[in-house]
Amino acid sequence: MAPGMSLLPASTNDAYGGMKAAAWGLTVIAAATISSALLHIGLPDGGAVVIAGLDISGAERIIISLFAWAGTTQFVWGLMLLAVSLRYRSLVPLALGLLTIERALHTWNMWGPKGSHLADGHHPPEAWVTLGSVPVLLIFLAMSLRRA
């Protein structure tokens, strides 16, 4: 049996041997990340009210600024994911591994002790998407580490 792909490849050439579905899954995730980022950057409230349904009264300017900051970071991260998924495929396992860690930490922050402070137990749509993304990312990661 041939050995699987490495999480940290020796080079960033096109010698990706994992399952193509994992790389294409990463492309879809990159597009969704970029789309979400553009909403956070472009919407007047950063999506805090119109999408997340948060009450931002009392800290409106700070929250809108934080949403825009998160969107900017998301945008750059999404561009990197897109580059990896389309061109630097030997880095697909690493990108999926990092995404899994990021989404798991987001899930913990949204549903764990810090998320318990949300008014009336309200969780914005992103909290639900993030919760569901962790098992999907783990499947894509396993697929990327397996020889096609």
Domain that holds residue 123: 20-145
Pair 23, 83: CB distance under 8 Å: no
The count of other CB atoms within 10 Å of the CB of residue 14 is 9
User: What percentage of residues in the chain have a pLDDT greater than 70?
Assistant: 86
Side chain identity at 21, as an amino acid letter? A
pLDDT at 100 over 80: yes
* 120 part of a folded domain: yes
* 110 part of a folded domain: yes
Q: Which residue has the tokens 């397996």?
A: 146
| R_g (Cα) of the chain, nearest Å | 17
Considering the entire predicted model, what is its pTM? 0.81
* 5 part of a folded domain: no
* 40 part of a folded domain: yes
Q: Which residue has the tokens 């783990």?
A: 138
Mean pLDDT, residues 91-112 taken together: 91
Report the number of distinct structural domains present in the chain.
1
Q: What is the model's pLDDT at position 1?
A: 41
* 12 part of a folded domain: no
* 10 part of a folded domain: no
pLDDT at 95 over 70: yes
How long a stretch of residues is the chain?
Answer: 148
Point out the least confidently predicted range of 69-73, 93-97, 125-129.
Answer: 125-129
pLDDT tens sequence across 52-89:
888 888 888 998 999 899 999 999 999 999 999 988 88
3-class secondary structure, 18: strand
* 4 part of a folded domain: no
* 2 part of a folded domain: no
